[in-house]
Amino acid sequence: MRHATCCSGGPRSIRLISSSSVNRFKIPSSYRPNTRVVAKLPLSHRLEIWLKSLQPGRLETLQRQLIDLLFPVDLEENRDVSRSFVKTPCDEDGNVINSVAFEVTNNASAETKHVVFIHGYGASLGCFARNFHIINRFKGLRHNYKVHFLDNISFGLSSNPGISSVKYWSPIPQIDHISLNDTSPTDKNKLYKKYYKLIESYDIDTEKFMAYRDTMTPLLKDLEQYYTDALETWRKNSGIAKVHALVGHSFGGYWSGSYALRHPESVQNLILLSPVGVERHATAVTAPLPTIPKGIKPSLDPASYNFLSRWPLLSKETIYRWYNVQPYLPRLLKFMGPFGVSKYYDMWYSKLFAINKVIQKLGGEKVFTSENELGYGTNTECRLLVEYLYNSITNGTKSDTHVKYLLTPATTSKWPLMDKFASADKCILEKFQTHVVYGQFDFMCAEAGEKMVTELNERGIKAQYHTVPEGGHNLYIQNPFGTHALLEKLVKEED
């Protein structure tokens, strides 16, 4: 058995999560822990990755290789699962959403329940490669199950349409209506939860704030319509009456939450994995106009509009790069040749290989419940994932701009998810159950997620807060064992 913490309204409690496959799997005698670190790729390998990235269809080839590596059809445990590769129309203009689905039939006369995964920014469906075999946990249940991994609209092999109100080659609208009053040097040891500094006060230029709010609010509504309409049309065209579990991570979590509020009849369970943009803050378009705009006392409470999030820690250079460099960097990466490959490999390899330490922390060989999991953290897997993600982001996506419209340089949403839920009618929120999940070492504002759950519970809405041990923001990559155990439990509760 493994542990995950869960909170529903009151104080946190420990709940045990067990896997149906525990003790059924025996480690082969040939298994050896992965200890060989390949910190740098040889130039020949970097050159090979870059040259192949210039070939048409390379991303689709890598997607197939990733699935074959981490869900091989010749494994005994995978043989009763069918795989499908689908491009589904998501509007009337010929745009499509790319997906990979895994399906198991437990009872030919039973209903098929659908579990849908939506990735975050800077990724595509292959980032869930360590989660493909979760379908095996749904064998032997009363219903049939189909698990869909989507390239969200504009990402990966999905279409990349634009939004008419977004000016893609113009400067990103900047937040210039707030000024911070901070005379004390930053002491990292005194920061609240590592990322938040309580400063003396801040000022709001009310005229600039009103202009900012009037400009951004309709744009944010257009963004919401863009992502949620594509998902809803995909659902209808896929013949899915209701999504049993909608699992969204980070940027995908934000839009999954928005989707559930717009189409509550289409979702049974909303599962947000480290969602971005939950917290309220001083620069939100939903923040009230201050009656006294000077010398406002900040708060460390992420449910307060006086919360400044990471703003006090941001340098001028960081803010400049957010607006003027980062929106264009992914597309420029390919023009950097093998050097760009090296930079991207350096960023991702250690994160992917770190699962080997997590495996040891969770008990070594005892943590494995599937032969599919033996591929975790091998250098073959890590390199293939890096190459896949490199090809995915260098394709270019309109979301490189969209994410800057949605988020502030402090990585807060200009329209907090907490406010979207707070303003929703109770009759809407009662149609689905909400689960908010963070990693133990998450850099997202987990406290905001916990407070959102508390606010929902106080209104009589079913919502739960969960923590996955040994996980960070990418908890489904960092600890797929704990993530799978939690997801299995949530799905089985309503089987």
- Mean pLDDT of the chain, nearest integer: 94
Cα–Cα nearest to 14, from 31, 2, 30, 23: 2
Q: How far apart are CA 158 and CA 98, in angstroms?
A: 5
Q: Say whether 86 sits in a helix, a strand or coil.
A: strand
Residue 71 pLDDT exceeds 80: yes
pLDDT the model gives residue 129: 98
Give the fold, CATH level 3, of 2-172+204-281+334-492: Rossmann fold (3.40.50)
Query: What percentage of residues in the chain have a pLDDT greater than 90?
Result: 92
Residue 19 pLDDT exceeds 80: no
Label the pairing between strands 267-273 and 433-439: parallel
pLDDT the model gives residue 4: 42
Cα–Cα nearest to 3, from 410, 428, 363: 363
Q: How far apart are CA 471 and CA 427, in angstroms?
A: 34
* Full DSSP string of 100-134: EEEEE-S-TTSPEEEEEEE--TT--GGGGGGGGGG
Average pLDDT over residues 58-69: 98
The H helix count followed by the E strand count for the chain is: 15, 12
Residue 392 pLDDT exceeds 50: yes
Q: What is the pLDDT of residues 413-446, one digit of tens each?
A: 999 999 999 999 999 999 999 999 999 999 999 9
Q: What is the pLDDT of residues 228-253, one digit of tens each?
A: 999 999 999 999 999 999 999 999 99
* Full DSSP string of 163-215: -TT--TTSPPPP--SEEEE--SPP-GGGSBTTTB---SEEEE-HHHHHHHHHH
pLDDT the model gives residue 495: 85
pLDDT the model gives residue 30: 87
Residue 272 pLDDT exceeds 70: yes
Residue 23 pLDDT exceeds 50: no
pLDDT the model gives residue 249: 99
Assign 494 a pLDDT band (cuts: 50, 70, 90): confident
Q: Decide if 439 contacts 472 (C-beta within 8 A).
A: yes
Q: How far apart are CA 127 and CA 199, in angstroms?
A: 38
Q: What is the pLDDT of residues 194-220, one digit of tens each?
A: 999 999 999 999 999 999 999 999 999
pLDDT the model gives residue 29: 86
Q: How far apart are CA 434 and CA 436, in angstroms?
A: 7
Residue 11 pLDDT exceeds 50: no
Q: Distance from first CA to last CA of the chain, Å, rounded?
A: 21
Assign 1 a pLDDT band (cuts: 50, 70, 90): very low
Q: How far apart are CA 226 and CA 125, in angstroms?
A: 19
Q: Decide if 307 contacts 297 (C-beta within 8 A).
A: no
For 243, residues 6+ apart whose C-beta sits below 8 A from its C-beta are: 114, 115, 116, 235, 266, 267, 268
Longest dimension (CA), the chain: 70
Q: Decide if 400 contacts 265 (C-beta within 8 A).
A: no
pLDDT the model gives residue 24: 66
Q: What is the pLDDT of residues 432-488, one digit of tens each?
A: 999 999 999 999 999 999 999 999 999 999 999 999 999 999 999 999 999 999 999
Residue 190 pLDDT exceeds 60: yes
Q: Which residue has the tokens 């104080």?
A: 11
* Full DSSP string of 394-432: HT--THHHHHHHHB-TTS-BSS-HHHHHHHS-HHHHTTS
Q: Which helix (H) or strand (E) holds 46?
A: helix 43-53
